[in-house]
């Protein structure tokens, strides 16, 4: 076992322990902090796998964006220091059994399949390669998902603003008197069929 393997197992243990504390802590703010540390551990795992771009994106989006958003929503919705009521013992046992069963099942499946790793050439991907392939319109380009995701982000942003807007106090109904006797000067049309789009209450007098 060399240094790289030791680093991997340390990162994995850190990530898993932080994730476990994030889902079991009874104080919600601490839970968010453990989640943040778990995300940092996953970013370290990406660094270990030498995909530095994904690691940077992970830190920027998850640690800097989503977890901060979660912490803000905790501050907006509840007292951060109080303890949450824990789940009932029956629910804990049932959930732990379900998770353990799934875990052993998946472990067994992965272990038996084995994944004969025959990666002959080393994996190296520069950021410029990612950028070129992301925006290329050729066969292996990703321009269409890129555009679709940009539309999705725009619609999610507009939807968030609409959902989280403060509702107006009350609908004050104001009746506005319709203007009467407005004279509209229309010059004589040369052709017969001319559509003039003027709404009903206006009174049209031809000059």
**Number of residues engaging other proteins in binding (CB under 8 A):** 82
Residue 27 backbone phi and psi in degrees, to 5: -105, 130
| Part in contact with other proteins (CB under 8 A); list of ranges 59-67, 168-176, 180-188, 192-200 | 59-67
Cβ proximity to other proteins: between 132 and 186 the closer is 132
177 binds other proteins, rule: CB under 8 A: no
CB nearer other proteins, residue 158 or residue 182: 158
The C-alpha angle 200, 204, 207, rounded to 5 degrees, equals 165
Q: Copy the structure tokens of residue 124.
A: 């190296």
Query: How many Å apart are CA 40 and CA 55, to the nearest integer?
Result: 9
Rg (CA), the chain: 31
Mark residues 9-28: x for contact with other proteins by CB under 8 A, - for none. ---x--xx--xx-xxx---x
Contact present, 10 and 17 (Cβ < 8 Å): no
Q: Is 27 helix (H, G, I), strand (E, B) or coil?
A: strand
Q: Segment 66-85, which members bind other proteins (CB under 8 A)?
A: 66, 69-70, 73-74, 76-78, 84
**In this chain, which stretch among 119-127, 168-176, 182-190, 196-204 interacts with other proteins, using CB under 8 A?**
119-127
Would you say 91 or 183 has its CB closer to other proteins? 91
């Amino acid at each position: 076992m060399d240094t790289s393997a030791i680093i991997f197992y340390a990162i994995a243990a850190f990530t898993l322990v932080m994730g476990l504390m994030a889902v079991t802590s009874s104080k919600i703010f601490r839970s968010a902090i453990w989640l943040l540390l778990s995300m940092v551990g996953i970013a370290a795992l990406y660094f270990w796998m030498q995909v530095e771009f994904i690691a940077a994106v992970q830190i920027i989006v998850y640690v800097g964006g989503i977890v901060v958003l979660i912490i803000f929503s905790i501050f907006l919705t509840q007292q951060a220091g109080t303890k949450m009521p824990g789940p009932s013992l029956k629910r804990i046992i049932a959930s732990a059994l379900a998770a353990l069963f799934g875990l052993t099942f998946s472990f067994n499946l992965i272990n038996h399949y084995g994944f004969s790793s025959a990666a002959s050439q080393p994996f190296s991907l520069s950021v410029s390669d990612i950028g070129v392939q992301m925006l290329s319109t050729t066969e292996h380009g990703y321009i269409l998902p890129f555009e679709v995701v940009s539309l999705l982000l725009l619609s999610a942003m507009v939807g968030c603003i609409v959902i989280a807007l403060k509702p107006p106090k009350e609908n004050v109904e104001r009746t506005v008197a319709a203007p009467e006797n407005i004279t509209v000067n229309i010059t004589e049309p040369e052709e017969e069929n001319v559509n003039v789009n003027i709404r009903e209450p206006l009174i049209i007098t031809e000059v």
